[in-house]
Structure 1
Amino acid sequence: MKINYNYAFFDEGSKREIRRATLKAIAIPGYQVPFASREMPIARGWGTGGLQLTLSLVGQEDILKVIDQGSDESVNAVNIKRLIALTTGIRVTDQTAEATIMQSRHRIPEIPLQAGQILVLQVPLPEPLRSYEPSEYETKKLHAEQEYSGAWLMLFEQIMNFGAMSTGADHPVLVHGRYVMAPSPIPRFDNPKLNYSPALILLGAGREKKVYAVPPYTRVASLDFEDYPFKAESFQDKFCRLCGARGVFLDEIPDEATGETFYQCNDTSYCLQNLNTKP
């Protein structure tokens, strides 16, 4: 039996409500805007917030790219692409430069984003202050008063315990000099890509019912100290064993037979593109 859905799955009223929340988020960079998160045909925690943003914004002329931890072909990425394609009929692509709207979990693509593109990041926990303040009421007050000493203290404790800031991902950032924001669980390597990005970056948390944004060309600074500056993961002197790329985020792959460690591009489409352009 064929089931006919409305364009992009949602009814028009739902799309308008999500768009209104999105516009408010763009107008106040880094501010978490609550919205009425809808029921989705996937479980909460598997990208429902990002998917709702994508479905509310996608149009017939858009070209879609979806990645999950750098891969275009993971189970999550494939099924999200399938849902959007089946309910809109738009074209999907693996090429970052071709896409007008991209949905991603845990990564920002290696190819620099361009003006006119939209990157939608899936967010499990949008509140950067939650690790030390469990009350939603109190975190709202802290944001309103710009009281972020707890976030600095958290980083200071990491330095005292480990000699360096030890956030592997989701390192908090200060947006437009005002709001401390959780950038989603992207690696520290991707944090600098948020700063003055020409693309619109939207972040959606379906389970927490929040949406927030980094408008194009917005200043985004990772929290750090003068004597302990922010440092991204370093892959100096390392390269991808498949395409030879350097200066990108690499996965460590142990070889059980030899005991050696190989490195490979985390962004699979970037790696494939390099392989296809090799002489």
Structure 2
Amino acid sequence: MLNKSHFAFLDEGSKKEIRRTILKAVAIPGYQVPFASREMPIARGWGTGGLQITLSLIGKKDVLKVIDQGADESVNAVNIKKLVQLTTGVELTEQTKTATLIQSRHRIPEVPLTDDQILILQVPEPEPLRAYEAKKSVTKLLHSEQEYSGAWLMLFEQIMKYGTISTGADHPVYVNDRYVMAPSPIPRFDNPKMNQSEALILLGAGREKKIYAIPPYTDVASLAFDDYLFRTEDFTDKSCHLCGATGVFLDELIDDHTQQKLFQCNDTSFCMERLNSTQKEEVGSIDA
């Protein structure tokens, strides 16, 4: 049943304030803009920042897709979709191509995004300098002076300890040759998708009360050294055991019966679309 008290749950004043914050974030790529994060009917840390952006931007004609670590059917994704649909009545989809708004936790879809789409990423910790500086006043000063030696030192320590840059996710990026930014806990595999993206990318941290953005066609480079280059997760010679996809982010599984190692597309809707397309081709060839 559609909630008629406020379209998209938030009152109009709240949505206007968040939209103004988004405009400032778009105008200064990678810069963390503070905003008055509202109380939401989900716990902080479960996507309140991304949800507030979605509810502030969504219109009656929008088509929404929500994913959680690549899955459309996870508890987090399903509950967010329910809340948005109950308060807007908008159409939901699992197909990346048909969505106008995509809210995501920990992944960027495998299907390339277009200039008529907006990707909204949920962010637990927006400050890329927090690992070595706890004070917000100091991190703001470091950003203003473009003093990022601490971030480089963290990567150097990884190389000294492990022989390579070992960041698993949330590998910091340089945006527009100005700000070092936390890309949210997406895998390294997804970092290159941010560079020169056709879609607008918005990042929201509800608990930390920050919104930041990567406008379309913005330069985004993952931090790395000249002699220790940035590398994504390596899936060379590996393919999805369901749809046969290669060149995508894969989850490593163990078959319960054979105990053999298997790989499967992390992006579930991408995998299902490939499977459905293959099945249709097989039926068509049989009919012919």
* TM-score, length basis structure 2: 0.95
Give the aligned partner of residue 48 of structure 1: 48
**2:47 matches 1:17:** no
Aligned-residue offset at 1:5: 3.0
Partners of 1:41 and 1:4 in 2: CA distance? 17
Q: How does 1:1-279 map to 2 (within 5 A)?
A: 4-278=4-278, 279=281
Partners of 1:192 and 1:206 in 2: CA distance? 25
Partners of 1:234 and 1:264 in 2: CA distance? 14
Partner amino acid, structure 2, of 1:220: V
Deviates more, 1:253-262 or 1:71-80: 253-262
Aligned-residue offset at 1:257: 3.3
Partners of 1:2 and 1:53 in 2: CA distance? 20
Aligned-residue offset at 1:116: 1.4
Partners of 1:91 and 1:4 in 2: CA distance? 17
Percent identity over the alignment?
71
* 1:150-180 Cα deviation digits (max 9, x unpaired): 0000000000000000000000000000000
Partners of 2:40 and 2:92 in 1: CA distance? 21
**Does the CA contact (< 8 Å) of 2:3 and 2:88 recur in 1?**
no
Aligned-residue offset at 1:4: 4.1
Partner amino acid, structure 1, of 2:23: L
* TM-score, length basis structure 1: 0.98
Aligned-residue offset at 1:255: 2.1
Task: Extract unaligned runs of 5+ from structure 2.
Answer: 282-288
Provide closer, same or farther for how the CA distance between residues 72 and 2 of structure 1 changes in structure 2, counting only shifts above 3 A: closer
Question: Alignment partner of 1:97: what SS?
Answer: helix
Aligned-residue offset at 1:260: 1.2
**Does the CA contact (< 8 Å) of 2:203 and 2:211 recur in 1?**
yes
Task: Extract unaligned runs of 5+ from structure 1.
Answer: none
* 1:191-239 Cα deviation digits (max 9, x unpaired): 0000000000000000000000000000000000000000000100000
Number of matched pairs: 279
Aligned-residue offset at 1:258: 2.4
Partner amino acid, structure 1, of 2:75: V
After superposing on structure 2, the runs of 4+ consecutive aligned residues of structure 1 that deviate more than 6 Å are none
* 1:127-151 Cα deviation digits (max 9, x unpaired): 0000000000000000000000000
Aligned-residue offset at 1:259: 2.4
Question: Alignment partner of 1:151: what SS?
Answer: helix
Question: Alignment partner of 2:96: what SS?
Answer: coil
Question: Alignment partner of 1:235: what SS?
Answer: coil
* 1:67-103 Cα deviation digits (max 9, x unpaired): 0000000011001001001100110000000000000
Partner amino acid, structure 2, of 1:195: N
Aligned-residue offset at 1:3: 6.2
